[in-house]
A and B are shown apart, each in its own frame.
Chain A
Amino acid sequence: MREDAAPVVAQSAHLELDGVVSGYGQIMAIKGITLQVQTGEIVALIGANGAGKSTTLRTISGLLRPRSGRIGFEGERIDAVAPHKIVSRGISHVPEGRAIFSRLTVRENLEMGAFQRTDRAGIEADLDRVVGIFPRLRERLKQDGGTLSGGEQQMLAIGRALMARPRLLLMDEPSMGLSPVLVETIFNTIIDINRNGTTILLVEQNAAMALQVATRGYVLESGAIALEASAAELRASDLVRKTYLGEV
């Protein structure tokens, strides 16, 4: 499918959720979400704790199966596709809280990111590229993932997702628990990844940062979309300023 050394350029990433209902057992955590992500965009999904942001991402990546509604990616339905097959379709998910394999080495973590790929040379090249983006990982390739600091784990989680060469990257609160300097680094990386052709759906509680890098955004409240607008409009809206940017 892919050329070994092809640059990571998006072809036609296009994600569409249409009336998606999903949750856990009896609990419906998202209640009919409709949203689109166009090729090349960074779209922010913001909302308070418990609004259903993570549930939305987990449903897109197939960990949860929607109760109803449909999810399309690059023109094909993916809402009944197993999570490992969604990865091979071009979607990678950086989960909330990093979810590093703590007993696998940093290198093994990165290799697991490329699990579906068989192009050895390409995998090695991408591993080099990732440690080029995050030089701190290079020195720690042989260390167990569990020995990394929070910031390094976030770098590893992002790098690991890139190892699959995704066309769409789902990121769940990459700034969580990081120092302001590290948040800055991570967000700069997000912009770089996007410039290199990966479409991004970015979930954040840090709405200020998210709306700085995003082109458009959605505000999620209690499992439903409350607002949809360009990032600039959202930054200016009363609801967002009062509730999510902490302005009075």
Chain B
Amino acid sequence: MEQWIQLTIDGITLGGVYAVIALGYTLVYGVLRMINFAHGELFMMGAFGGFYTLDAFENHTTMNDSLPSLTIALAIFAGMGTSVILAILMERLAYRPLRHAPRLAPLISAIGVSILLRNLMLRWTNARRQVFPQVFPRGSIEIGDVNVTYIRIFLVALSILFMLLLYIFIQRTKTGTAIRAVAEDRDTAALMGIDVDRTIVLTFVSGAALAGAAGVCYAMYTTNAAAGMGFLPGIKAFTAAVLGGIGSVPGAMFGGYFLGLSESYSTKLIGAQYKDVVAFVLLVLVLIFRPWGFFGKREDRRA
């Protein structure tokens, strides 16, 4: 029994991370009908943004010791900032010039950006994993017979918080409503006086901020950062977004947790070595039987 509880906690932790990343895919898809294949690299670059910021403060151990929460917040904001700046550049240089090109062109451009960023970081780090500074207080609490580390609780809470903030932004603010309007009909949105280009940039920025924060937290959790770290979480979050119905915000959240839990339970049911396969089997199944996902609308899948 404890084992199942433990697996559920694992699944929720990981699922929250997937969900937060998946939101970036779904938001950008919503406004541009394009999969930003470089989104996983925004996650990775965010982790490095946090890493190098902490690195710069390394000698100030007094700060780490006396104010861990401040250090953690600093790392997260640095990661978000890094990803946001990169996303703005990415949109401006690699995607906007292709706005009116055939649909395949920006996809290929995105794959190019992804390869570029990954290789830049491979070179910069000499292809070595960087050990992420131990800023998060060690320790755990007991829930019944189950041990839950602080970092896990933090990860679960933070991902819920970020999702809530995003949901409020999209549903309750004027800019969020404009993002939904642009997603539905770009020309008509322009006729309302909405600056469509600016709204698209803001969409990238929102997704990137989430990815950057997720990157830093994931690196704290796994205690390292590496150039290739965006690949698997990126593609799994993409799977989560498709599971939920790409373009759908609640869908991405649902898909993230669904995938996290599926992966976690599968380690017990099928075997830990197949954990990564589960995501792809699910992706294939959804694409075959319900390509618009659980929350997506059928007509949203028009070419």
Contacts and interface: CB of A to CB of B under 8 A. Distances in A.
* Real binding pair: yes
Interface of A: 61-63, 82-84, 87-88, 92-93, 95, 99, 101-104, 108, 111-113, 115-116, 160, 164
Contact of B174 (A84, A93, A111): A111
B190 A101 contact: no
Interface of B: 174, 177-178, 180-181, 184-185, 187-196
Q: Which of A87, A112, A113, A116 has the most CB of B within 10 A?
A: A112
Given A82-B190, A99-B185, 14 more contacts: A63-B190, A82-B195, A83-B187, A84-B195, A99-B188, A99-B191, A101-B188, A108-B177, A108-B180, A111-B177, A112-B177, A112-B192, A112-B194, A164-B193
B191 A104 contact: no
A87 B192 contact: yes
A108 B183 CA distance: 14
A63 B63 CA distance: 55
A115 B194 CA distance: 6
4 closest residue pairs by CB, A with B: A87-B193, A116-B193, A83-B190, A99-B188
A92 B191 CA distance: 7
Contacts of B180: 101, 103-104, 108
Contacts of B188: 95, 99, 101
Contacts, number: 61
25 contacts: A62-B190, A63-B187, A63-B191, A84-B195, A84-B196, A88-B193, A92-B191, A95-B187, A95-B191, A99-B191, A101-B184, A101-B188, A102-B184, A104-B177, A104-B181, A104-B184, A111-B174, A112-B181, A112-B189, A112-B194, A115-B174, A115-B192, A115-B193, A160-B192, A164-B193
For the residues of A in contact with B, the DSSP-based class is loop
A113 B193 CA distance: 7
B181 A61 contact: no
Nearest to A163: B192
A108 B178 CA distance: 9
B174 A87 contact: no
Contacts of B194: 84, 112, 115
B295 to A, nearest CB: 12
B195 A103 contact: no
Contact of A101 (B181, B193, B195): B181
Nearest to B100: A25
A224 B184 CA distance: 33
Q: Which of B174, B189, B190 has the most CB of A within 10 A?
A: B190
A160 B189 CA distance: 11
B184 to A, nearest CB: 5
Q: Which of B181, B190, B192, B193 has the most CB of A within 10 A?
A: B192
A113 B188 CA distance: 10
